[in-house]
């Protein structure tokens, strides 16, 4: 893990929805070339956190620094232009469209013929195949419908797309949650490839084993608060799981009930 200045640093972030406090003083940062895992059970505040980092929500309090400078995102587009790409669970793909069309999504290369402009499908197909091969996926052809790919391969299309269009930080929202063992292994390998290209990866998950396989640092989120951050080698998967599950609370409850929990 690199010790350079963080690409993004979030300091004491608070986000309220009326009387509901979704984030209550969360601090987090991501550096180039590292995978920083944000772990938490359902309702911990993970979704609100990534939407705040990616410009969907504006924080009620706290500060966001981008490459050392205070920055406010007015929209997700601002975050994308700064180099923050988010791959959500639904992947924002159209199953019946080709891998190439899903890869480019309105940003296809063009060529001109007089005053007219046409999509350069030859170039688009070539780049799509090259980018997918770079991520370890070998397609039959670029015109293959994206719906014929496995869940892990579709995840890789979305990740390759973000990397190609200049992501400095890649936020992955539960990328392995609905995958089998082999597909999960492929996605984790893709995360490792992306990290080695110098891109900061924020891996949002509730699966400690998957996080521990590729993570450089681990931050646990519980009820809108961070319980702490540890580097690889400083904490075991079992300890992370215990923090996520509220191990201290369970221990206190067990003591009050005389060891019956």
In a domain, 113, yes or no: yes
H/E run at residue 15: strand 8-17
Strand, helix or coil at 88?
coil
| pLDDT score recorded for residue 1 | 44
In a domain, 41, yes or no: yes
Containing domain of residue 90, as a range?
28-256
- In terms of Cβ atoms closer than 10 Å to its own Cβ (0-12, 13-18, 19+), residue 217 is buried
| pLDDT score recorded for residue 92 | 81
Closest CA to 157 of 115, 186, 200: 186
| pLDDT tens digits along 5-57 | 899 999 999 999 999 999 999 999 999 999 999 998 888 899 999 999 999 99
pTM given for the model: 0.87
In a domain, 122, yes or no: yes
| pLDDT score recorded for residue 53 | 92
Instruction: Please tell me the distance from the alpha carbon of residue 65 to that of residue 69, in angstroms, as a whole number.
Output: 5
Q: Residue 2 pLDDT more than 50?
A: no
Q: In this structure, what CATH number is given to the domain that contains residue 200?
A: 3.40.50.300
DSSP string, 46-73: HHHHHHHHTTSS--SEEEEEETTEE---
Q: Residue 250 pLDDT more than 50?
A: no
In a domain, 73, yes or no: yes
Residues 6+ positions from 260 with CB-CB distance below 8 Å? 254
């Amino acid at each position: 893990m690199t010790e350079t200045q963080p690409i993004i640093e979030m300091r004491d972030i608070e986000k309220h929805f009326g009387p509901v406090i979704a984030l209550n003083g969360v601090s987090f940062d991501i550096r180039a070339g590292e995978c920083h895992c944000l772990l938490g059970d359902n309702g911990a505040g993970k979704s609100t956190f990534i939407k705040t980092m990616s410009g969907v929500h504006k924080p009620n309090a706290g500060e966001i620094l981008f490459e050392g400078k205070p920055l406010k995102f007015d929209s997700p587009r601002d975050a994308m232009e700064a180099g923050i790409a988010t791959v959500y669970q639904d992947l924002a793909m159209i199953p019946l469209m080709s891998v190439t069309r899903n890869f480019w999504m309105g940003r296809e290369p063009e060529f001109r013929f007089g005053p007219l402009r046409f999509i350069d499908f030859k170039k688009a197909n070539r780049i799509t195949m090259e980018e997918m091969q770079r991520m370890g996926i070998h397609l039959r052809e670029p015109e293959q419908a994206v719906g014929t790919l496995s869940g892990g391969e579709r995840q890789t299309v979305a990740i390759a797309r973000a990397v190609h269009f200049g992501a400095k930080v890649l936020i992955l929202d539960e990328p392995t949650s609905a995958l089998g063992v082999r597909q999960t292994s492929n996605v984790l390998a893709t995360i490792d490839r992306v990290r080695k290209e110098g891109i900061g990866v924020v891996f949002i998950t509730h699966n400690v084993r998957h996080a521990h396989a590729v993570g450089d640092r681990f931050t646990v989120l519980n009820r809108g608060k961070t319980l702490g951050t540890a580097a690889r080698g400083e904490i075991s998967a079992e300890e992370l799981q215990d923090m996520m599950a509220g191990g201290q609370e369970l221990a206190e409850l067990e003591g009050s009930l005389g060891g019956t929990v």
